[in-house]
């Protein structure tokens, strides 16, 4: 059955046939606190799916969201500490985030900005957007601007083109990167108008696609990714390691191979952030490191993302993948291969 409207409530999910009434009855407090939105495209994908399937876990509310752990926080990666003007996060010297809007096509149940996005969240008005662009224009150390939010591809093509063109006109901006769930959640939005809005004359536009499970790489999604790649836009992916969704080496292998085949380079595999009510999704760091280590022998370097942790408190991302090297320059090193074999690597100048 084809749906034609986004479900934005528990009643809407029940009416669409993707959430059982008895489950919905227990989720009122979840719906009161966190935004719900599931696009018609995703409703079709979820039609008849197991309510605990990897797709359903990502998009349908659950009672686990009511459990908030002591370590969880409303701003888990510390955006506010690095926000000099509204809508801008300047954590790293050479790049900034530009959060132009709060809306997303779908509200993922593990979102690290779940306290900030959705109906009633902050969006930049014309004056605030102008001030944000002025900040970037006045800081010539900014080489890369990352449009995020919210999902920047939810902007109208006209507004998106205005922002991209304004950034492209700044001589010091070399890269405009957009973080988006749209190709996976609402592929029909990627049309000729949107592609035209992403055309630049000087900077490079990159798209980071959020995709977590191989089942998301449908024929429609792969077609849209092909259009984007065919338009000359380099594509990378960001995935989140999620318990019950992709915390399995074979699933990650299929995901990253599928992305590479669709001309998307796996870029980051994020450890789950400490967002409220997301503890049921988070793996342990040791679990994540083990999974990433298993990937080393299963897939080529093209399919290997960097496993990263966004350090709580605003201290930035750090690679947290497994170690393959031990020892030091004085005594020599031991290197572990993908089979687990260990091999000596000598200190400099000791071989004749």
12-62 pLDDT per residue, tens: 999 999 999 999 999 999 999 999 999 999 999 999 889 899 999 999 999
Q: Are strands 235-240 and 265-270 parallel, antiparallel or unpaired?
A: parallel
Please tell me which residue in 75, 79, 168, 310 is annotated as part of the active site: 310
Active-site position among 34, 41, 107, 111: 111
Mark whether 211 is an active-site residue: no
Distances from the Cα of 346 to the Cαs of 42, 322, 325, 331, 335, in angstroms?
Answer: 54, 22, 12, 8, 10
Instruction: Tell me if residue 95 is catalytic.
Output: yes
310 classed as catalytic: yes
Question: Could you tell me the pTM of the whole model?
Answer: 0.94
Q: Quick check: is 215 catalytic?
A: no
- Please tell me which residue in 273, 282, 293, 303 is annotated as part of the active site: 273
Domains of the chain (ranges, CATH numbers): 10-66 (no CATH), 80-319 (3.20.20.70), 322-352 (no CATH)
Active site annotation includes 317: yes
Compute the distance between CA of residue 293 and CA of residue 234 in angstroms, rounded to an integer.
Answer: 27
The catalytically annotated residue of 3, 34, 75, 95 is 95
Question: Which of these is catalytic: 57, 99, 113, 181?
Answer: 113
Of 104, 46, 113, 24, nearest to 74 by C-alpha is: 113
Could you give the C-alpha distances from 121 to 58, 133, 159, in angstroms and in order?
21, 20, 19
- Round the average pLDDT of the chain to a whole number and report it: 94
Indicate the DSSP class of residue 277.
T
- Give the H/E segment covering residue 309: strand 306-310
The predicted-structure confidence for 233-254, as pLDDT tens digits, reads as follows 999 999 999 999 999 999 999 9
273 is catalytic: yes
Would residue 79 show up in a list of annotated catalytic residues for this protein? no
Instruction: Please give the pLDDT value at position 93.
Output: 96
Report for 31-35, 112-116, 133-137: range of highest mean pLDDT: 133-137
- Which of 92, 137, 227, 243 does the annotation list as catalytic? 92
Candidate list 91, 114, 181, 257, residue with the active-site label: 91
280 pLDDT exceeds 70? yes
Residue 202 has pLDDT above 90, yes or no: yes
92 is a catalytic site residue: yes
**Residue-level pLDDT at 122:** 64
Does 263 qualify as catalytic in the annotation? Answer: no
Judge contact between 238 and 285, C-beta under 8 A. Answer: no
Q: Report the pLDDT value the prediction gives residue 90, as an integer from 0 to 100.
A: 97
pLDDT for 351 beyond 70: no
């Amino acid at each position: 059955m084809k749906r034609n409207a986004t479900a934005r409530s528990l009643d809407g999910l029940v009416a669409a046939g993707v959430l059982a009434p008895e489950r919905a009855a227990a989720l009122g407090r979840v719906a009161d606190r966190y935004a719900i939105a599931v696009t018609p495209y995703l409703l079709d994908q979820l039609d008849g799916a197991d309510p605990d399937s990897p797709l359903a876990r990502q998009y349908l509310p659950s009672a686990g969201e009511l459990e908030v752990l002591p370590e969880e926080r409303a701003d888990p990666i510390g955006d506010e500490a690095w926000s000099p003007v509204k809508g801008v996060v300047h954590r790293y010297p050479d790049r900034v985030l530009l959060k132009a809007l709060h809306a997303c096509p779908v509200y993922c149940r593990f979102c690290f900005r779940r306290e900030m996005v959705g109906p009633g969240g902050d969006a930049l008005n014309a004056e605030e957007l102008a001030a944000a662009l002025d900040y970037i224009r006045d800081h010539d150390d900014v080489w890369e601007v990352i449009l995020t939010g919210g999902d920047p591809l939810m902007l109208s093509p006209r507004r998106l083109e205005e922002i991209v063109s304004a950034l492209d006109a700044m001589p010091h901006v070399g890269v405009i990167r957009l973080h988006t769930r749209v190709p996976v959640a609402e592929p029909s939005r990627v049309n000729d108008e949107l592609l035209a809005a992403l055309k630049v004359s000087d900077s490079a536009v990159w798209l980071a696609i959020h995709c977590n499970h191989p089942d998301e790489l449908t024929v429609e999604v792969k077609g849209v990714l092909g259009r984007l790649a065919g338009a000359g836009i380099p594509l990378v992916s960001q995935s989140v390691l999620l318990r019950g969704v992709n915390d399995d080496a074979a699933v990650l292998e299929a995901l990253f191979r599928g992305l590479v085949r669709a001309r998307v380079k796996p870029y980051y595999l994020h450890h789950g952030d400490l967002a409220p009510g997301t503890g049921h999704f988070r793996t342990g760091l040791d679990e994540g490191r083990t999974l990433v280590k298993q990937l080393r022998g299963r897939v080529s370097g093209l399919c290997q993302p960097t496993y990263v942790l966004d350090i709580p408190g605003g201290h930035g991302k750090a690679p947290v993948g497994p170690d393959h090297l031990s020892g030091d320059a004085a005594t020599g090193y031991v290197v572990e291969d993908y089979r687990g074999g260990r091999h000596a690597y000598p200190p400099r100048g000791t071989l004749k």
